[in-house]
Every structure is written in structure tokens, then in C-alpha cells.
Amino acid sequence: MSSAFSSRYQGIAGHFLLFRDAVTNLPALARPAVRDMFSRQIQMTGEATLNALVIRAAGLGTLIIAFMIHILSADAAYAVRILIWAVLREIGPLFAAMLLIMRSVTMLASEFAEMHSRGEYDRLRMMHIDPLQYLVVPTIAAITVSSIVVTFYFQLLAVGGGIFISAMLMDVSISELSEHFFALASLSDILYTFIKSTGFGIGIGLVVCAQGMGGRTASVPEIVSRSVMQSIFAVLLFNAVFAYLVFGVALFGIIKAP
């Protein structure tokens, strides 16, 4: 299993192939053993990350509003508009993805690498258990769900905490900031966030599985380091491509006017 994984799912083409195989085997989540593994991975990824968000998220929202109002002398409506663009669209998904990488990818990659070194994948195969269905599918699904949940949780804390703390520290009311937020925020912002956080989660999950389960003779620290660096690269690459597709193509078009 491990040698096949190393040769089959390495490189960019291998990651796309792994994504295809994982999607094809998604019905395996209906099995009790796979569901249990999915729940365990959710606990390792999502729950471990949520606890680290509260102060960071609220502080970021407060910083953005305070900077816009006090430093740039912007009115409350403009400050909230920047908060929406920064937190809902850009910083929120990226911050959640990076925190997920730092706190969860290291644990999962090291666990998969240790299983590889102990020969557990071969034992699973001898028991007629497909590691792709038992490990890869629930891991990618769990990281994707965790990325979505952590992102929206971060945004809720950043916007709500930012508005609440800013109202206490500055000459602006909670109702005024809240009215501007609900007037300016739209479903497109939520959809934009959902697509980005989903893409980030899938990319991180593919890297963790491909590197952790296909490490061959690499040491555990090397596999963990490679998983973290490639996960960051995958997130930044998806962010750049998605931003270009939305702002470069969808809004401005591919053909430029002479």
C-alpha cells in the first residue's frame, strides 16, 4: 500500500488523482467504522483549532475597525465595509487555514508517518481493509468540514467581537456598526467564503494523505515538515487562482478592450 501510494499519488497530477479516487469512494463514509474514523479526525482537526480562535479573532476585528476609524478617519460604514472585505473574504479563510495547518496537519502527518513505519497499512490490507476508504476518505472529509466550520467560527468572532469591543472603546455604537454590517454583507460574501474554505480544506487533506501515507523511507519530522510546507503552498496557490478567476475573469473578462 505505501509503495503504491508513493508512486501513484505524488506530484500535482497525483494529488488530482487522489482527489478523484477519494470522491469516488465517498460512499464509504456510510460504513460505521469509517464514520467513527471521520468523527475522530474531526476531533483532531476542528475541535483542537476552535479553542485557539477566540482572542485572535476578536482582536483582529477590533484592530481593523479601530485602524479605519482612528488612523484613517473613516466613518463607521466604510470601516465595516473594510471589515467585511478583509475578514469575510480574505483574512478569515486564510487565517483559519493556516491555523488548521499549524495545529492539525502536524498531528495527522506524524500519525500517518508512524503508521507507515510500523507497517500498519500492510496489516490493514491483509485484513481486506482498503486504507483509501478507511483513512484517506474520512481524513479529507474531516479536514474539509473543519476548514469550513473553523472559518465561519473565526468570522463570527472577528465581526461580532470586533463590533462589540470597538463600541466599548470608541465613540461608536453597537447598533450603528451592526446596521452597517447587515446592510453591506451579502450572500455572495458567504458563498465566496464557503468556496475558499472548502478548497483550502480539500487541498490540505490531499497533501496530508499523500505525504503522510506515502513517505517511503523519509523520517517522521521530514514528512511533517514537508506536509506543512506543501499545505501552505496549496492554500496560497488556490487562493491566488480563485482570486484571479473571481476578480480577474468574472469581473473584468478575459479579453481586454484595446
SS (H, E, C) the chain: CHHHHHHHCCHHHHHHHHHHHHHHCHHHHHCHHHHHHHHHHHHHHHHHHHCCCHHHHHHHHHHHHHHHHHHCCCCHHHHHHHHHHHHHHHHHHHHHHHHHHHHHHHHHHHHHHHHHHCCHHHHHHHCCCCHHHHHHHHHHHHHHHHHHHHHHHHHHHHHHHHHHHHHHHCCCCHHHHHHHHHHHCCHHHHHHHHHHHHHHHHHHHHHHHHHHHCCCCCCHHHHHHHHHHHHHHHHHHHHHHHHHHHHHHHCCCCCCCC
- For residue 106 the three cell numbers come to 502536524
pLDDT digits (tens, 9 = 90+) for 154-176: 887 777 766 776 666 666 667 76
pLDDT band of 238, cuts 50, 70, 90: very high
Give me the pLDDT at residue 57, please.
Answer: 62
Q: Considering only 24-28, 120-124, 250-254, which range has the smallest mean pLDDT?
A: 250-254
Q: What pLDDT, on the 0 to 100 scale, is given for residue 62? A: 65
**pLDDT over 70 at 256, yes or no:** no
User: For position 54, what pLDDT does the model report?
Assistant: 59
Are 179 and 136 in contact by the 8 Å Cβ rule? The answer is: no
Candidate from 10-19, 54-63, 101-110, 196-205 with smallest mean pLDDT: 54-63
Mean pLDDT, rounded, for 91-113: 83
Greatest mean pLDDT among 66-70, 103-107, 126-130, 231-235 lies in 231-235
Q: What is the model's pLDDT at position 200?
A: 94
Q: What is the mean pLDDT of residues 97-122?
A: 81
Query: Domain limits of the chain?
Result: 2-250
Predicted TM-score of the model (pTM): 0.80
The CA-CA-CA angle for residues 236, 186, 92, to 5°, reads: 30
Least confident residue range of 21-35, 63-77, 154-168, 216-230: 63-77
Report for 139-143, 182-186, 220-224: range of highest mean pLDDT: 139-143
Mean pLDDT calculated for residue range 119-135: 80
Instruction: In whole angstroms, give the CA distance from residue 152 to residue 191.
Output: 11
| pLDDT band (50, 70, 90) for residue 257 | very low
Higher pLDDT, 60 or 85: 85
Letter string b/e over residues 216-244, b meaning 16 or more CB atoms within 10 A of that residue's CB: eebebeebbebbbebbbebbeebbeebee
Written as nine digits, the cell of 120 is: 500498519
What are residue 75's phi and psi, to 5 degrees? Answer: -80, 175
pLDDT single digits (tens) 199-222: 999 999 999 888 877 655 567 788
- Amino acid letter at 188? S
pLDDT at 199: 93
Q: What is the pLDDT of the chain when averaged over all its residues? A: 77
Q: Which residues contact 252 (CB under 8 A, 6 or more apart)?
A: none
